[in-house]
Chains A and B, each alone.
Chain A
Amino acid sequence: MSEITQEKMDQIKAYIDRVKQQPYPTSYLIAVLHYVQGLFGYVPREVMDFVAQEMNLPTAHIWGVATFYHYFNLKPIGKHVISVCMGTACYVKGAHDVLEAIKRELQIQVGQTSEDRLFTLQEARCLGACGIAPVIMIDGKIHGELTAKSVVELIHRYRKAARGKTA
C-alpha cells in the first residue's frame, strides 16, 4: 500500500485538479492530505513535494499542516492499526493498563510501528463507545470491555491470523 506509483500520483493530480475548480482551492489542503493518506496509509514526503507544486503551496506550509494534525501519519504504518481510546470513560475503566499492556506486548511506544510491521500503535480520542469501555479499535473494528490480559490475547489472535496467511 505504501508504494509510490505513477497511478497513485495521477489519482492525486486528478483530485487536486478537481479541487482547483472550487473557490479557495488551497483551503482543500487537508482534504488532499486525507486523500493521500487514504492511498498510501501515510503522507510521504515525495507526495508532499508533488502536492506543493500542484496546489501552489509552499512545502513548509504543507509540512506545518501535516505535522500539526495527529491524524496524519508521516511514516509508513503497520498492517494493523491499533487505536487505544483515551476518552474519559475508558480512562476511568482502566485504558491506561490496556495501553501499557499493548506497549509491553509489542515493544513499541505510541506512534510507532512494531518491528515485524504488523502493528502501528496510536492513541485515539473518544471513539464514542463509552458503554463498553475500555475500548480499542483495530483497523476500524471496535473491541470493548478489555483488560490488560484480554488485549494481549486479542493481539495474539491477530498475529496468528497474519502468520496463517503468510504461511
Chain B
Amino acid sequence: MRAKSILTLCDGPTCIYKNSRAIRDALETELKNQGLSDEVGIHISGCLGMCSKGPILIVNPGYTIYGGVTVQDIPEIVQEHLVRRRPVARLAVQEDHLYNRFFRIFGDVDFFGRQMRIALRNCGIIDPEKIDDYLSVRGYEALAKVLTAMSPREVIDEVKKSGLRGRGGAGFPTGLKWEFTARETGNEKYVICNADEGDPGAFMDRSAIEGDPHTVLEGIIIGGYAIGAAKGIVYIRAEYPLAIQRLEKAIAAARENGLLGKRILGSDFSFDMEIRLGAGAFVCGEETALIHSIEGRRGMPTPRPPYPSVKGLFGKPTLINNVETWANIPVIMLDGGEWFSTVGTETSKGTKVFALAGKVHNTGLIEVPMGTTLREIIYDIGGGIPNGKKFKAVQTGGPSGGCLPEEYLDTQIDYESLAAAGSIMGSGGMIVIDEDSCMVNLAKFFLEFTQDESCGKCTPCRGGTKRMLEILTRITEGNGKEGDIEKLERLGQMIKKASLCGLGQSAPNPVLSTLKNFRHEYEEHIFQKKCRAGICSALVTYEITEKCIGCGACRRVCPVNAISGKRQERHAINQETCIKCGQCFTTCKFDAIVKA
C-alpha cells in the first residue's frame, strides 16, 4: 500500500541537537496509536539548510514546513494535519525566503528548468540511506545514459560545454582537468573525491554527502568512465561520522545494484570505490597533500608540476574534484552542458552552495545561481542582521578568503567578481559580520587557523604566518607599533607569491583584505589603543554600573584584587591594577559590569 502522506524529518546536526530524533520516536508512536502507520511514511533527510528554524518537519503533500517542533507538538500535528487535514498554522514556518520557495516547487515534473538547487537537488527530498529513493528521482539515469550512449570523449565535451568550474575554491575548469587526465596513457588511473572540507564555518560537503550520497557517487563513476579509471576514492574527514556511514551504505547499495563493480550495468566499464579517512589536517584539502595523505604519508604538498593529472596517486594519473563539483555531474549529463551553462554568469556557470553563518537571521545551507549578489543572499535569503545591529562585513572563502565591507554588497557571486573585490569564492563559507566584531581580531582568528594548519614545509608559510600572527597579536593586545601595518603587508605579499601551495598562497588574504577595507581599525588599535567593537580585551575597560547590588562575587574572583566595595554597595574597579581578564564580567549575575 502506498503511503498517503510523507513526513520528512531533517537529520542534520543542528536538528539532532534540537531533539529531532526524539521527535521521530514520538511521531512513530503517535502514528501507531492513531493507526496511521501504514498510510504515513516517515522520511529522514540530510540537512535541509534551515538550521536556525530547526528541528524541521515537512509534511507532504502540501509542503508544509514546521519549524521549532517539540515532542509535545506531535499529537497536535498528527491529529490536526494528518487526520483532519488542517495544517497547524502556529508551527508552520511562514517566511517566504528562497529555500521556502524551493520546497514549494519540488514535485513539479520539470522542475529542473527553474531549480536553484542543482548540487543539493535531492537533499531533504529523499532518504539518503535508500537507493530506491535516489533511483526514483532519476538517480543513476545519467550513468546509464553515459555508459550506453556516450563515449568518454563525449562525456568530457559535455562537461566542458557546461562551463563547470571546480567548486573547491580555485575554480579551475572541470572539463579541462578531465581532459588532461584522460589523455594520459596507462591503464592505472584514479578518481578522487575531495571531501576533506576543512574551512571553519563551512559544511556544504558534509550536508551534500549526508543528504544525497548517491549523487556524489554517480558523479565519480561517470568521471571514472570519462578518464578511464577503474578506481575511485573518497577522501573524507574523520570528523564526519554520519557522512562516512551514509557513504558506506551508499557504496554497498550501489554494489548490490550493479552500479559499482565489474561490468557496470552490463557495459564493459568496471569501477569500484573506496573511502579513505583524513585525520585532521586542513592542508590535505590541497590536492598533492591529499594524495600523500591517501598514500599514508604526512600530508605535505609537493611542487607542481608534475600535476596530479600526470603523476598523482601512487604516481599514476589522477583526477581530483570536490564533493560539490561531483554532485553537479549527473545533472549535466542528464540535461546537457548547454542547459547548465544557461545558469549563472558569463564566466561562472551553474550554482554555488554556501554555508551562511554568523550574524544573520537565517543561518544554514543555501544554493544560489552564480551571479546572485551578496546583498540578496544576506538580506533576502539570510533575512538580514539580527538585533538591529549594523552590517559590517561579509567574509567569503574562509581562511583563504577576504572580508568585504558594505560597498561590495552588490558584488555578484562568481569567481572573477569576488576576486576583483579582494576575496575569493572558496569552497563556500560565508560569514556575516556585524558591528560587534573587531576586524583585526577576525583577521587574527583566521591567521591563527592557517598558522596552526600550516604543514611547516615551506619557509614563507611556516615562518611568515607565524610572524604575521605575532604582529596581529601584539596589535590586539595594545602593543602595536608604528610600522606594523607595513610589515604585515610586506610579509603578506611575499607569502602569497612565494609559498609552495594554495594554503600559504591564500593565508594572508584575511589580513590583506581587512587591511585594505578596514585599515582604520588597525590604526585605531595601534595608535589610539582602541578596539571599537570591544572585542580586544586588553583595549577594553570594565566598569561597574548602578545595577551592582554589592554581592561581592566580582571582588572575590578578581585575581589581582582590583575590585573594591562594601557589601550591598556598588563596587568599583581600579583600572590601574585591572588586568582585563574579564572574570568579573562573566561572574556577575546582574549584568552590572560592562565593557567600554
Contacts and interface: CB of A to CB of B under 8 A. Distances in A.
Complex: A in contact with B (CB within 8 Å): yes
Interface of A: 24, 26-31, 33-34, 57, 61, 64-65, 68-72, 86-93, 97, 101, 104, 124-133, 135, 140, 142-144, 148-149
Nearest to B398: A88
Contacts of B298: 64-65, 68
Contacts of A97: 582, 586
Given A68-B281, A72-B279, A27 B51 contact: no
A149 B584 CA distance: 12
Nearest to A34: B277
Interface stretch (B94-102, B161-169, B262-270, B354-362): B354-362
Interface residues of B, number: 56
B202 A126 contact: yes
B449 interface: yes
9 contacts: A57-B296, A88-B357, A91-B442, A104-B583, A124-B239, A125-B198, A125-B282, A126-B201, A130-B51
A101 B586 contact: yes
Contacts, number: 142
A131 B277 contact: no
A57 to B, nearest CB: 8
Contacts of A101: 586
B448 to A, nearest CB: 9
A36 to B, nearest CB: 12
At the interface, is chain A mostly helix, strand, loop or mixed? helix
B299 A88 contact: no
Interface stretch (B13-21, B324-332, B564-572): B13-21
A30 B296 contact: yes
A74 to B, nearest CB: 13
Interface in B305-362: 314, 355, 357-359
A151 to B, nearest CB: 10
B371 interface: no
A104 B203 CA distance: 30
B295 interface: yes
Contact of B13 (A26, A61, A93, A142): A142
A160 to B, nearest CB: 21
A112 to B, nearest CB: 16
Q: Which of B200, B359, B442, B445 has the largest count of A CB atoms less than 10 A from its CB?
A: B200
Contact of B277 (A31, A89, A125, A127): A31
Which 7 pairs across A and B sit closest by C-beta, in order of nearness?
A: A131-B51, A88-B201, A69-B279, A29-B296, A128-B203, A89-B357, A71-B280
B203 A130 contact: yes
Contacts of A128: 13, 203, 206-207, 240
Contact of A34 (B13, B238, B363): B238
B293 interface: yes
A65 B358 CA distance: 35
A97 B295 CA distance: 39
B295 A130 contact: no
Interface string B407-433: 000000000000000000000010101
Interface in B435-476: 437, 442, 445-446, 449, 455
A69 B54 contact: no
Contacts of B202: 87, 126
A71 B200 contact: no
A131 B279 contact: no
B14 A27 contact: no
Nearest to B535: A96
B584 to A, nearest CB: 12
B90 interface: no
Nearest to B281: A69
A131 B314 contact: no
Nearest to A61: B297
B16 to A, nearest CB: 7
B238 A133 contact: no
Contacts of A31: 276-277
Interface of B: 13-14, 16-18, 51-52, 54, 198-203, 206-207, 238-241, 276-282, 293-300, 314, 355, 357-359, 363-364, 395, 398, 429, 431, 433, 437, 442, 445-446, 449, 455, 582-583, 586
A126 B199 contact: yes
B198 A132 contact: no
Given A28-B296, A125-B198, A131-B14, A70 B281 contact: yes
A89 to B, nearest CB: 4
A27 B17 contact: no
B118 to A, nearest CB: 21
A140 B241 CA distance: 9
B206 A68 contact: no
A166 B240 CA distance: 32
Q: Which of B239, B241, B278, B398 has the largest count of A CB atoms less than 10 A from its CB?
A: B239
A33 B51 contact: no
Q: Which of A30, A34, A131 has the largest count of B CB atoms less than 10 A from its CB?
A: A131
Contacts of A91: 200-201, 442, 445
Contacts of A68: 281, 298-300, 455
B168 to A, nearest CB: 16
B358 A27 contact: no
A27 B299 contact: no
A89 B358 contact: yes
A101 B582 CA distance: 11
B200 A30 contact: no
A26 B279 contact: no
B234 to A, nearest CB: 13
A29 B314 CA distance: 14
Nearest to A68: B298
A113 B55 CA distance: 34
Nearest to A144: B17
Given A97-B586, A125-B200, A132-B17, 19 more contacts: A24-B295, A26-B296, A30-B278, A68-B455, A69-B281, A70-B280, A71-B239, A87-B200, A89-B363, A89-B431, A93-B358, A125-B198, A125-B280, A126-B199, A126-B202, A127-B239, A131-B14, A133-B357, A142-B13
A39 B525 CA distance: 49
A129 B295 contact: no
Given A31-B277, A87-B201, A130-B363, A69 B51 contact: no
Contact of A130 (B201, B293, B314): B201
A142 B17 contact: yes
A91 B582 CA distance: 17
Q: Which of A24, A70, A126 has the largest count of B CB atoms less than 10 A from its CB?
A: A126
